[in-house]
């Protein structure tokens, strides 16, 4: 029944859309859903590249059947074991008992651990090839882009890189599956939010992977999430290069916590002064309203960060605590930091934010401002000064 979606004459898209899940990994809001991508290569041998989250396995199997009919599947290549791709492995094996599951030495223990599968597996090593007939699969290990077993598969006849989670994006594929069937901008921010939150901790493994793949001629990047890239290949590789090196643009993310509005007032004073000083990209987030994934995504884009928090039981506001511990855990690098705090009897927020900035090795800009009780004119002026200092620091990089 399904009209095949062709990457080339023998290579097909068989992924599914998920518009029901609210939180990807039960953490990240996905208002625009997510796609779990999988691919079939129908040659003398049939290979399936990755599978899909188990909830949609029935639809997935129908799509596979629509392409190969009653032919058996010879190989299931498991580039990544995470259950949003590996979740259907057991069912696929039951449907296709002869199938050989292809992975590397880190994949196979996971197969056994998750599914008790230890037979009919094929262990490949870096640079190994698997011939399907006209098509040849070449395997490259890219550990920690996103799990230790992650690998990518390059089909050398059609020059397609099956890239696992790399170059993936949140967002379902709404009719359009290839990047020349929609406007790139529609996915760019969600791609960065996906990268920064899911893969962002692993900048150095991403750099190693990019180096390893640099000499491949790539006509298509077929990731496990989001669009298939065939028009914007250079662009998405450049984005990955930039993000994994923590390269940022001129702009400021102002992230504040505030229960009763005092800290918010300080944050807004700084934001206004940034604009007065010619900073065009200012993103203000209330950490109790914006999910951390959006703030982190913006922080991966813009170099300046203002963190503002009231003191709360001698600590940071809990939502600021959550955001900053995520930033520390991810080791986000190369930012300028301005700090604001508010308190009523003994302030701790500025001290704590300063310690976090030092831990992250971010450059602390200007004089941090901490106000007791309501915002008064001298501290208001200090907020303006901090805004000017941040703008000046960013503008120094224009040269």
Ligand X SMILES: Cc1cc2nc3c(=O)[nH]c(=O)nc-3n(C[C@H](O)[C@H](O)[C@H](O)COP(=O)(O)O)c2cc1C
Residue 153 in contact with ligand X, rule: CB under 6 A: no
Beta-bridge partners for 222: 162
The distance of closest approach from Cβ of residue 311 to ligand X in the complex, given in angstroms and rounded to an integer, is 4
* Shortest Å distance, C-beta 350 to ligand X: 11
| In the complex, least distance from residue 356 CB atom to ligand X, rounded to whole angstroms | 17
Residue 223 as a binder of ligand X (CB under 6 A): the answer is no
Please tell me whether residue 325 binds ligand X under the rule CB under 6 A: no
Site size for ligand X, by CB under 6 A?
A: 18
Tell whether residue 331 is a contact of ligand X (CB under 6 A): no
Which range binds ligand X by CB under 6 A, 14-22, 34-42, 207-215, 337-345? 337-345
What is the rounded CA–CA span in Å between residue 16 and residue 23? Answer: 17
- Residue 284 CB, nearest distance to ligand X (Å)? 14
CA atoms within a 13 Å half-sphere pointing along the CA-CB vector of 237 = 23
Binding segment for ligand X (CB under 6 A), chosen from 30-38, 211-219, 254-262, 275-283, is 254-262
- Rounded CA-CA distance 299/309 in Å is 17
Where does residue 226 fall: left (phi above 0), alpha (psi -120 to 50 degrees), or beta otherwise? Answer: left
215 vs 346, beta carbon nearer ligand X: 346
For the bound state, the minimum distance from the C-beta of residue 160 to ligand X, rounded and expressed in Å, comes to: 52
Q: Does 215 bind ligand X (CB under 6 A)?
A: no
CB-CB contact of 111 with 78 (8 Å):
yes
Position 262 contacts ligand X (CB under 6 A):
yes
Q: Judged by CB under 6 A, does residue 1 bind ligand X?
A: no
Q: Is 100 in the site for ligand X (CB under 6 A)?
A: no
Query: Which residues have C-beta within 8 Å of that of residue 251, sequence separation ≥ 6?
Result: 279, 280, 281, 282, 283, 301, 302, 303, 304, 394
**DSSP of 121-136:** EEE--TT-EEE-SS-E
Within 8 A by CB and 6+ apart from 289, the residues are none
Name the segment binding ligand X (CB under 6 A); options: 34-42, 122-130, 286-294, 345-353: 345-353
Give CA–CA dist 365/362, Å, rounded. 9
Q: Which of 12, 195, 343, 362 binds ligand X (CB under 6 A)?
A: 343
Binding range to ligand X, per CB under 6 A, among 243-251, 257-265, 278-286, 388-396: 257-265
Asked if residue 108 lies in contact with residue 100, where contact means CB atoms within 8 angstroms, the answer is no
Tell me the DSSP string of 278-317: T---EEEEETTTS-HHHHHHHHHHEEEEEEEEEEETTEE-
Instruction: Please list, in sequence order, all residues whose beta carbon lies within 8 angstroms of the beta carbon of residue 351, skipping any fewer than 6 positions away.
Output: none
- Which one of 171, 251, 310, 387 is in contact with ligand X (CB under 6 A)? 310
- Selected from 23, 129, 216, 259, the binder of ligand X by CB under 6 A is 259
Q: Counting contacts by CB under 6 A, is residue 125 touching ligand X?
A: no
Q: Is residue 313 a contact point for ligand X (CB under 6 A)?
A: yes
* Chosen residue from 215, 346, 377, 378 binding ligand X by CB under 6 A: 346
398: contact with ligand X by CB under 6 A: no
From candidates 344, 355, 367, 395, binder to ligand X by CB under 6 A: 344
Q: Which is nearer to ligand X, 334 or 344 (CB)?
A: 344
Tokens found for residue 35: 């796609």
Q: Find the binder of ligand X among 37, 79, 258, 297 (CB under 6 A).
A: 258
Neighbours of 359 (CB within 10 A): 12
- Determine, following the binding rule CB under 6 A, whether residue 94 of this chain makes contact with ligand X: no
272 sits in which H/E element:
helix 262-276
Helical pair 233-244 and 203-213, crossing angle rounded to 10 deg: 140
- Whichever of 105 and 373 has its CB closer to ligand X, that residue is 373
CB of 370 to ligand X, least distance (A): 10
Distances 199 to 118, 196, 351 between C-alpha atoms, Å: 29, 6, 30
Return the range that interacts with ligand X (CB under 6 A); candidates 15-23, 327-335, 343-351, 354-362. 343-351
Q: Are strands 121-123 and 28-29 parallel, antiparallel or unpaired?
A: unpaired
Q: Is 319 in the site for ligand X (CB under 6 A)?
A: no
What are the residues binding ligand X (CB under 6 A)? 258-264, 310-314, 342-347
């Amino acid at each position: 029944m399904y009209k095949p979606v062709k990457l080339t004459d023998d290579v097909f898209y068989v992924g599914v859309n998920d518009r029901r899940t609210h939180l990807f990994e039960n953490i990240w809001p996905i208002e625009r859903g997510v796609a779990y991508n999988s691919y079939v290569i129908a040659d003398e041998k049939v290979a399936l590249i990755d599978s899909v989250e188990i909830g949609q396995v029935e639809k997935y199997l129908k799509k596979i059947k629509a392409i190969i009919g009653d032919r058996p599947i010879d190989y299931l290549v498991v580039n990544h074991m995470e259950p949003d791709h590996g979740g259907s492995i057991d069912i696929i094996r039951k449907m296709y008992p002869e199938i050989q599951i292809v992975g590397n030495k880190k994949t196979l223990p996971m197969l056994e651990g998750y599914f008790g599968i230890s037979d009919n597996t094929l262990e490949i090593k870096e640079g190994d090839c698997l011939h399907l007939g006209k098509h040849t699969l070449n395997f490259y290990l890219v550990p920690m882009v996103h799990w230790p077993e992650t690998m990518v598969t390059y089909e050398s006849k059609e020059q397609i890189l099956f890239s696992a989670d790399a170059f993936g994006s949140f967002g379902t594929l709404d009719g359009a599956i290839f990047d020349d069937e929609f406007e790139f901008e529609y996915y760019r921010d969600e791609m960065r939010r996906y990268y920064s939150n899911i893969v962002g901790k692993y900048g150095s493994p991403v750099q190693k992977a990019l180096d390893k793949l640099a000499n491949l001629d790539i006509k298509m990047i077929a990731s496990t999430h989001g669009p298939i890239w065939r028009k914007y290949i250079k662009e998405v590789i450049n984005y990955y290069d930039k993000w994994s090196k923590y390269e940022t643009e001129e702009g400021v993310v102002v992230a504040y916590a505030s229960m009763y509005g005092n800290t918010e007032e300080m944050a807004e004073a700084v934001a206004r002064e940034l604009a007065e000083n010619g900073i065009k990209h200012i993103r203000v987030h209330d950490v109790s309203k914006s999910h951390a994934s959006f703030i982190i995504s913006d922080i991966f884009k813009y170099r300046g960060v203002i963190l503002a928090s009231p003191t709360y039981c001698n600590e940071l506001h809990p939502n600021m605590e959550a955001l900053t511990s995520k930033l520390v855990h991810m080791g986000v690098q190369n930012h300028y930091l301005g700090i604001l705090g508010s308190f009523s009897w003994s302030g701790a927020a500025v001290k704590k934010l300063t310690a976090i900035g030092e831990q992250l090795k971010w450059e602390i800009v200007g004089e941090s401002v901490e106000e007791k009780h309501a915002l008064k004119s001298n501290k208001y002026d200090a907020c303006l000064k901090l805004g000017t200092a941040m703008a000046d620091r960013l503008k120094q990089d224009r040269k």
